[in-house]
Amino acid sequence: MADDEESKNDAAGRPDHPTPLRGPNEGLPAKPEGKRSSVAADVGALATGLKTTLGEFFRPAVTLEYPEDKSPRSERYRGRHYLRRYDNGLERCIGCELCAAACPVGCILVIAAENTDENRVSPGERYAKTYEINMLRCIFCGYCEDACPVQAIVLGPEYELSDTSREKFIYTKEKLLEPLPPDVQARLDAKKKEPT
Amino acid sequence: MSDLYANAIGHWVIVVIAMTLLLFVVLTATAYTVWFERVALGHIQRRPGPNRVGPYGLMQMAADGVKLAFKESFVPSKTEHWLFVIAPCIAVAAAFLSWAVIPIGLWYNVQYWIADINIGVLLVFAFSSLNVYAIMIGGYASNNKYSLLGGLRAAAQLISYEVALGLSLVPTFMIVGSLRLRDIVDYTVSWGPYHGPIPLILLTPIGFVIYIIAAVAETNRAPFDLPEAEQELIGGFLTEYSGLKFVMYYLAEYLNMITVSALAAIVFFAGWYLWVVPPIIAFVIKIVLLLFLYIWLRGTFPRLRYDMLMRLGWKVLLPLAIINVIVTGIILVATQG
């Protein structure tokens, strides 16, 4: 047996005819035996087709009328970003730039500045003086959200981000600090209270 | 109204008015046939179809028409310019000409027609076969191999199915004894207590089946739309056409659909006679139902392969039509002596 196989190999040692993993008819449905098509059967098949389409004609549409009706987003849907605040109004972001480091496409720009007693923006030592996301580059992977040690950045449910100029796609800190949609906010609040 | 037709001047006045009105009515009907088709196909595929422009999307065709009309009238440089422009004109002219002989019952004793000639049906066939020239010339003039192939397919297909289409109506003529379309509609029977018009499909059911299949093929509609098979021929003879010239082909296609539906209503379903329904409404209902049949077929069956198309035409429909004629003849001789 071994000799036999060796003789089939070519110069490079590859088998001449590798044994196929599947036979030619393996996995195929068995052919019906002795069944021949007749005119009656063919016309019947046509009638079945017509019956099917007429049945579908009277059933309601399965499509959504998009601008009015929208399909529900998953809770974990990754849409546009938001920067969150604490309940007392201070920004969560501490300007650590871990989100920018985690970003695979480098679309986040963070420039940090020191908090002072006169100008306290966040509870930590530093805060983000500039926080910009280039939404044209963003791939909505959510790594920034994972990387953030203070849960400052989250990806919300919005996905209709079209605009009229490229400049408008660079979301500034001001835009990112817009309040979250109430349902997302409520969900995040509930998560916070859960024991970890 | 019939008196007016008898008067020489009255005849011309009424014919000119009728032609003008017909142009508007038929064009509007064509636009709404397109709308009807898109909505019906949508529902077959469980989606709503066009519903944005106007209530229920009824203004969709107006929007599309304006858009197409304002497109540049473009003729590719290596085409046969004159033929390229003339071909869609032939298509539209042929499609409209058929309506010259199709009578329409407006009210109980008021009928409208432009030409009431004693070979009405033959004239409809003659005009509808002019469509071959439009498609062939369009395909040839485009100087494009796909267009040419589409044109050739169309020619072969139309010639093949024309024979069956013509023969499918012969039993009706034999029963009625006239080719005049009004006579066919007015064909009355006295069956026991019933005296009045009957849908002739009761007497020629096989003729109707052959007629519908051949008519779908004759108007190049799915599942017989081989001349414009998108997958193989990129649109066939339509490939190089855009703007108004495309509209003309499109118009002709849907106009032909309405024409063969109207002819079927006249020949097989007693035209404008339907119990107590007012004639014009009865006629429109019949045409709409036949158009739905067309769309239903399109929404159901995949396109035939070319050899299947030819086999169906020559080996099934033609012999069946001839047998239908012979059997009808034998029965007529047996019953009427």
Task: Render pLDDT for B33-52 as a digit per residue (tens, 0 to 9).
Answer: 999 999 999 999 988 888 88
Whole-Å CA distances, B311 to A174, A194, B315, B317: 72, 73, 5, 9
For residue A75, give both structure tokens: 């809770």
| CA-closest candidate to residue B290, choices B201, B161, B229, B224 | B201
- With a cut of 60, say whether residue B288 has pLDDT above it: yes
Q: In which element (H, E) is residue B61 found?
A: helix B60-69
Q: What is the pLDDT of residues A45-77, one digit of tens each?
A: 888 889 989 988 888 888 888 888 888 888 888
For residue B11, give both structure tokens: 């005849």
Is A39 touching B (CB cutoff 8 A)?
no
CA torsion sign for A14, A19, A21, A23 is positive
Statement: the pTM of the whole predicted model exceeds 0.80: no
Q: Compute the distance between CA of residue A91 and CA of residue B202 in angstroms, rounded to an integer.
A: 83
Average confidence (pLDDT) over B308-312: 86
Whole-Å CA distances, A180 to A16, B136, B190: 65, 63, 80
- The C-alpha of B71 sits at a distance from chain A's nearest C-alpha, in angstroms, of 26
Q: What pLDDT is attached to residue A137?
A: 92
Helix (H, G, I), strand (E, B) or coil at B71: coil
- With a cut of 90, say whether residue B228 has pLDDT above it: no
- With a cut of 80, say whether residue B259 has pLDDT above it: yes
Given pLDDT bands bounded at 50, 70 and 90, which one contains residue A103? very high
Using an 8 Å CB-CB cutoff, list chain B residues near A59. Answer: 46
- Cβ pair A149, A99 in contact under 8 A: no
B296: nearest CB among A50, A58, A59: A50
Is B52 touching A (CB cutoff 8 A)?
no
- With a cut of 80, say whether residue A24 has pLDDT above it: no
Average confidence (pLDDT) over B105-124: 77
Mean pLDDT for chain B overall = 84
| CA-closest candidate to residue B30, choices B259, B223, B279 | B259
Q: What pLDDT is attached to residue A13?
A: 63
Q: Compute the distance between CA of residue B290 and CA of residue B244 in angstroms, rounded to an integer.
A: 28
Given pLDDT bands bounded at 50, 70 and 90, which one contains residue A1? very low
Whole-Å CA distances, A59 to A15, A56, A65, B82, B185: 57, 5, 16, 49, 37
Is B335 touching A (CB cutoff 8 A)?
no
Mean pLDDT for chain A overall = 82
Average confidence (pLDDT) over B82-95: 89
B44: nearest CB among A56, A63, A65: A56
- With a cut of 80, say whether residue B231 has pLDDT above it: no
For residue B155, give both structure tokens: 């020619």
Q: Please tell me which residue, A132 or B12, carries the higher pLDDT value.
A: A132
Is A57 touching B (CB cutoff 8 A)?
yes
Q: Compute the distance between CA of residue B246 and CA of residue B241 in angstroms, rounded to an integer.
A: 5
Helix (H, G, I), strand (E, B) or coil at B21: helix
- With a cut of 50, say whether residue B102 has pLDDT above it: yes
Given pLDDT bands bounded at 50, 70 and 90, which one contains residue B323? very high
Question: Is the ipTM here above 0.90?
Answer: no
- With a cut of 50, say whether residue A17 has pLDDT above it: yes
DSSP B190: E
- With a cut of 70, say whether residue A193 has pLDDT above it: no
Q: What pLDDT is attached to residue A98?
A: 92
Given pLDDT bands bounded at 50, 70 and 90, which one contains residue A139? very high
Q: What pLDDT is attached to residue A158?
A: 87
With both helix axes pointing from N to C terminus, report the angle between B60-69 and B8-44 in degrees, rounded to the nearest 10: 110
Given pLDDT bands bounded at 50, 70 and 90, which one contains residue A16? low
Is A55 touching B (CB cutoff 8 A)?
no
- With a cut of 70, say whether residue A196 has pLDDT above it: no
- Of all residues in chain B, what percent carry a pLDDT higher than 70? 95
Using an 8 Å CB-CB cutoff, list chain B residues near A52. Answer: 300
Q: What pLDDT is attached to residue A32?
A: 67
Give me the helices (H) in A60-158, please.
Answer: 98-102, 143-147
- With a cut of 90, say whether residue B150 has pLDDT above it: no
Q: What pLDDT is attached to residue A14?
A: 63
Q: What pLDDT is attached to residue A116?
A: 85
Q: What is the pLDDT of residues A109-122, one digit of tens each?
A: 999 888 888 888 88
Q: What pLDDT is attached to residue B53?
A: 84
- With a cut of 90, say whether residue B65 has pLDDT above it: no
Is A49 touching B (CB cutoff 8 A)?
yes
